Structure 1
């Protein structure tokens, strides 16, 4: 299996030379043309297919431009002019039946606006493009996508939200939730597919991607800032067929703006924020686009720095605002388009996060206060490199994406015991990921088509642990014992505790096809065959461990697993603009090794199956009324969960089998053109129906246990108003309120603390005037002190720790485009 899969992966690029050819039509021929509203990329493919012409693009960023419907008996010239009207692009003739779409030359800048504001006028109600679900890897129109997806375009994100990173997504997507241990160390969950809030070596339940490159594996959310991002898609899971392991809950796909091959340009932004009872904050960013060779090569650079002021005081150490966080980083993208059919992208990302201290407080000490013996800093260092190659034919597309990720996350916890000297427990997780995927896609009308692909992934995770005492002892002592077998040297000298290394190699073949057996009924079937090679080793094992136990556990970790994940869906859009669908899909995570009570133990893979029914009417943001509803049932077998052992250290174990019921709904109204009202709600009923043996004593009178860390009820309401002003100005006002219901940190009484049950609110105003935009935002309007997350330090699970929302914060910002 492994050799065959690797061979197919190796020859996948060669398969891309196969193309479908058609007899070209003459430019002057008038033909029946029928193209729906959408994006320029899809419209050009449809026009080429209907006429037999060859139509390419010099700049693939043009593919996202909205285009109107074009219908009638037209020549290709006339059809192209109709499609490109108002887009800032034009078609160049490159042969008897070939056209190349390029950017039109820049027009002179308009004169500076008059200093007197004109009367506010509503923005015109212009038709908008259909939403295309690019994360489906087949560019599927929303109306023909069988599943729940949230699409967030760049015009929804202010600079303040871009500086917040993942927080901006949490405030807009009701089904998305997170732990709140700190930027760069949080775990993201979609729907109620959550294992626990503790950070252990298990793989994430939510897959995160930057374009086609995987961002995470056995590590938390890297929390990349969302500067210069064109689009974010959140697909509810499982998404095992197209994305493989680690997509149990779903997928978050971030699409940064691509280099522009035709024009120079850029943007600078700056913001100052003030937090009630806390430190001020600042954020700076810059973006520049440089065409190196006109219509051939372009470079796009993004850089930023963000300082989030602290707001938690530590009374024991007499320190104020200890939990400040500094983030800085950037992206670089180089695009090479040798002709209209080939696009080669080189992408690089680097981001560093420094958290000065933990984010939690203690209610018994005071609001936004705690009493810790030591500081608990953390740091995240993230590096990504990626090469993406795309070849486009009329209806056939080949995509190859290969990249490498290095992610280092350092965390620390206060391990001080009562009457003991100050002590600090540190764990360092070093993750390396190499991945490559090669796929061939045929995009056909209305979301029909197929995809075939092969991928290979190799992930290595090394978890190192240590215990540092800050007493006055000069030699190792037996007391106080914090971790059995780990000495306390004192004077800030660390002693190693048992860690673990896990390696996974995955070779995969996958495919999916959609067809229309009868008009208006779309059937989709797919499957993914994955061979995983697993290995694990103990690191810095303490002398108290049995050599035989270590050898046994490591022997169990070295194994192969072959898993097939089927998927199927049916969908009908024959009822006007109403879509009905049913879907079945699976997902899995491979097993590995974890440290439990200073013993190295094996945990097995888990697997999830979901059946869902849904309905959707209209397109949010385009139609006056849009609504969607979804009902899902999930069966989760052999659940992997990050828990704590008897010492209090994070570990991973299989906690049993569970089931989840999910009901969600969303309504988006546009009563008048500039105003959008958005309301969504989600209800989860999750249970651990068959607890593992070590948890059965926690199930009283045969009752099942709640699955952790996702609220049973959540909802969001938002309002958005945009209006044009005289001389090209634009005013944008928005507000939102999000309710997060109650949940539990983990399974059982030790991790059974409740969290959630709060409302988070925000208001924002943006005024764009020419090249300058001014912004004012206010978050946590009610100054809520709600508990976002219950974990303080795992070495003290009895104190009433909580993680409060950031207090009421106001930010003033300015953006300048050039």
Structure 2
């Protein structure tokens, strides 16, 4: 069977994403109002290039499947079923060179990486990247998807467990400390092309109506600049479609053992204001995770519910062919009236006499304009303005004192970014990118400590960073299919800091300028059929600044740190049923910055010394049958503080904090179609998190971890509707996933952060 018959069908405008064929087919079904089905598990693993243009739905499907192992058979009522193309008989012919044009479709089964700032096939990439599809929901199709959902899918990503909206994320064991402060995060988080934050915690953006998340293991200093020493987490939202309308709704209710009920709901509406030229997409969501921690001293229970509310609005305009303009705004708030830790020997309760609330308000406005020429040359300019406000309270009452005291901390972060780049991509991995960027970041904090009736001001700090950079990277073929990649970034960064009031000493940053070069070089070469050997050298850095020091009335400077990483590995695929990879990396980290907690519970920041990280990661996917598949991954991490600073000699030759030696994930998925409109999907998933420690220094040398989480989901899909039943923490594990809650009780070393008890969720979804 050849191409689909193209009849006098109405022409529609299609805007289909690249990447997974399954995602592209879902978008094609919505935009073309046709049903396309198929049960082959390789559909999700097959890669396609983006498709844009005005044509019939049949023609769009034909073009989308070109270059893949699938073809479409009409099944009546305007529907299609995907089947394998028949094997072509081999023909002997003399080989001849073939010139691959920029618009050649991606090879079958290929996944395209967008985070490389040009379209790059994952299989031949010199870097290590995880691509996680989000649009299909995966395990637990809840509208409250966030960092916990991502952690269940890859061991490469780790997190502290202070609480949603307060956590720090780490990639491949590049972890500096368990606390947030003025230092830049080790993992850069991006919403599309725009940076979410420069420092501070991960705001835990909701992933509803998001196509996928890419985790680019680092450092990514050449392409992304300062603050990406561990790597980059890139969230790819869905853009407005230029035809419509489309809508979706997802909602659910949950029940937690030893806790209060939860709910989540989210909806999306997509409208075409001017067909083929102007569209708008609006997303709204709200969720409440019921509390499960008690406060017996206050005679209250379930004190730690988390409420998250968010809105996203996006506009896409295509005024002329080849030109696309996107503008969007998002706002998300998180509120928690008390903390999620336990102490005093209680399994699910703590003894604080004061409520310890937390609030997080995050806003981001961004704009992107892109021009694509017929040759594949692409110019893209993007910019964003982010505003992040955090407020938290901890009880600081001293033992034996009747009058309760509190520590209040308010932080405001403002981040402005802009980037312009010119690129060209080839289907075989060749290509280049050149660009320039600017970052303007201001972070200020205000703190008080003392009785609620008369708290006293503590010194806070304000840091201002101005960063300008030019960068470029190119990938060229050498001797056939050997690909060599090289890049360079030149950065000029200006750092200024000042205390919020006059300190006891005068040691603060009056202004300094740093200039540096950050190169990368990599390769990939086929060594056998469907076996690629790859490797890369990268480096990155974080800027220095001003921070509070040990004690309540001092400030001090902390210096820039630098990390250098070399890694190498192999990727293998056998037909369309088996994918596997293994990667070995070695990192040298100099002048490590760390946000710490002193014995008195107050925060401080310091350079703690030099360290090394040796990591081995392995991934495998296996299609056992056409309906049953398995995936698994493991990360081994061996880290050491090799040259501690004088104040941290006792931590020498000890592992770095918040970096378990072993982390592993696994999933077993089953999908059984009863008909073209009725199917049953089930999945079981687990994550093992090994033992780690809280921080550097004797005060923070507290172990935690060593537990396994298991979750299951079953979903019945009938037409545009879906009903699901899911269970989190199926085994009801009561482990310590983090070893602190209130830093002012750190000296007792008796705090734990228990897993949420077994939670059962009933959900419903509909797509229009």
Report matched runs for 1:282-431 at 5 Å.
Answer: 282-362=263-343, 364-393=344-373, 394-420=375-401, 421-431=403-413
Which of residues 416, 420, 425 is equivalent to 1:438? 420
Residue 373 of structure 1 and its aligned partner are, at CA, apart by 1.6
* Equivalent of residue 735 in structure 2, options 774, 781, 786: 786
In structure 2, distance between residues paired with 1:786 and 1:601 = 38
| Secondary structure in structure 2 of the residue aligned to 1:84 | helix
Whole-Å Cα distance in 2 between the matches of residues 159 and 277 of structure 1? 21
Is residue 724 of structure 2 the alignment partner of residue 743 of structure 1? Answer: no
Alpha carbons of structure 1 residues 378 and 124: separation in structure 2 relative to 1, 3 Å:
farther
In structure 1, the residue matched to 2:637 is 684
Could you say what secondary structure the match of 1:807 adopts? coil
CA contact under 8 A between 2:170 and 2:187: conserved in structure 1?
Answer: yes
Question: What's the CA shift string for 1:177-229, capped at 9, x where partnerless?
Answer: 10111111100001110011122111100010110010111111010111101
Residue 641 (structure 2) pairs with residue 661 (structure 1): no
**Cα RMSD after superposing both structures:** 2.7
CA distances 1:112-150 after superposition (whole Å, capped 9, x unpaired) = xxxxxxxxxx99678964200111111101111112211
State the shift of 1:175 in Å: 1.0
The alignment status of 1:603 with 2:530, answered yes or no, reads no
Aligned to 1:509: 470
Given the two structures, how large is their TM-score scaled by the length of structure 1?
0.81
Q: How many Å separate the matches in 2 of 1:280 and 1:65?
A: 35
CA contact (8 A) 2:143 2:251 kept: no
Q: Which residue of 2 aligns with 1:223?
A: 204
Mapping of residues 77-96 of structure 1, within 5 Å = 84-86=60-62
Residue 214 of structure 2 is matched in structure 1 by: 233
3-state SS in 2 of match to 1:408: strand
Measured after TM superposition, the shift of residue 151 of structure 1 is 0.8
Q: Distance in 1 between matches of 2:267 and 2:676?
A: 26
Distance verdict in 2 for CA 1:42–1:413, change over 3 Å: closer
Instruction: Say yes or no: does 1:759 pair with 2:740.
Output: no
Which position in structure 2 is the counterpart of 1:777?
A: 726
Q: For residues 640 and 196 of structure 2, what CA distance do their matches in structure 1 show?
A: 30
Residue 810 of structure 1 aligns with which residue? 760
- Identify which range, 669-678 or 160-169, moves more after superposition: 160-169
Q: Is the 8 A contact 1:68 1:83 kept in 2?
A: no
1:157 positional shift: 3.4
Partner of 2:655: 706
Range with greater deviation from structure 2 (727-736 or 393-402): 727-736
CA contact (8 A) 1:521 1:574 kept: no
User: 1:424 deviation in Å?
Assistant: 1.1
- The 3 A distance-change label for structure 1 pair 69 and 244 is closer
Secondary structure of the equivalent of 1:760? strand
Q: Structure 2: how far apart are the matches of 1:414 and 1:343?
A: 51
User: Which of 245, 256, 261 is the equivalent residue of 1:264?
Assistant: 245
Give the secondary structure class of the aligned counterpart of 1:135: coil
Give the Cα–Cα distance (whole angstroms) in 1 for the partners of residues 720 and 126 of structure 2.
41
* Pair 1:458-2:440 in alignment: yes
1:800 aligned partner: 750
Find the aligned partners of 2:335 and 2:576 in 1 and give their Cα distance: 44
8 Å Cα contact 2:562-2:590 kept in structure 1: yes
Q: TM-score, normalised by structure 2?
A: 0.86
Contact 2:318–2:325 (CA under 8 A) maintained in structure 1: yes
Contact kept in structure 1, 2:19 and 2:48, CA below 8 Å: no
Distance 2:604 2:242 in 1: 49
Q: Which residue of 2 aligns with 1:536?
A: 497
User: Aligned ranges for residues 12-91 of structure 1 at < 5 Å?
Assistant: 84-86=60-62
CA change 1:88–1:816 in 2 (3 A) is farther
Matched, 1:526 2:487: yes
Deviates further, 520-529 or 719-728: 719-728
Question: Where does residue 580 of structure 2 map in the other structure?
Answer: 627
State the SS of the aligned residue for 2:660: coil
Are the equivalent residues in 1 in contact too, given 2:294–2:348 (CA < 8 A)? yes
The reply to whether residue 561 of structure 1 matches residue 510 of structure 2 is no
Distance 1:813 1:41, change over 3 A: closer
* Greater helix fraction, Structure 1 or Structure 2: 1
Deviation at 1:792? Answer: 1.8
Map residues 140-179 of structure 1 onto 2, 5 A cutoff. Answer: 140-153=120-133, 154-157=135-138, 160-179=141-160
Once residues 795 and 692 of structure 1 are traced to their aligned partners in structure 2, the CA distance between those partners, rounded to angstroms, is 25
In the TM superposition, what is the alpha-carbon distance from 1:717 to its structure 2 partner?
A: 1.3
Q: Name the stretch that deviates more: 571-580 or 242-251.
A: 571-580
1:711-726 aligned within 5 A: 711-726=660-675
Contiguous gaps of at least 5 residues in structure 1? 1-38, 44-58, 71-76, 91-106, 111-121, 471-490
Deviating 4+ runs (over 4 angstroms)? 39-43, 64-70, 79-83, 86-90, 107-110, 122-129
Hey, what's the Cα distance between the residues in 1 that align with 2:697 and 2:263? 41
Note the residue ranges of structure 2 that are not aligned, 5 or more in a row: 1-15, 21-30, 32-42, 67-75, 86-106
CA displacement, residues 421-477 of structure 1 (integer Å, 9 cap, x when unaligned): 21110111100000000000011241101100000000000011112414xxxxxxx
Which one of the candidate residues 210, 219, 227 is aligned to 1:246? 227
Residue 275 of structure 1 is matched in structure 2 by: 256
- Give the whole-Å Cα distance in 2 for the aligned partners of 1:580 and 1:130: 16
Deviations 1:593-634 (A, max 9, x none): 010122110000000000101110128xx8211110010000
1:88: how far off? 8.5
Say if 1:249 and 1:520 are closer, same or farther in 2 by CA, change over 3 A: same
Per-residue deviation at 1:65? 12
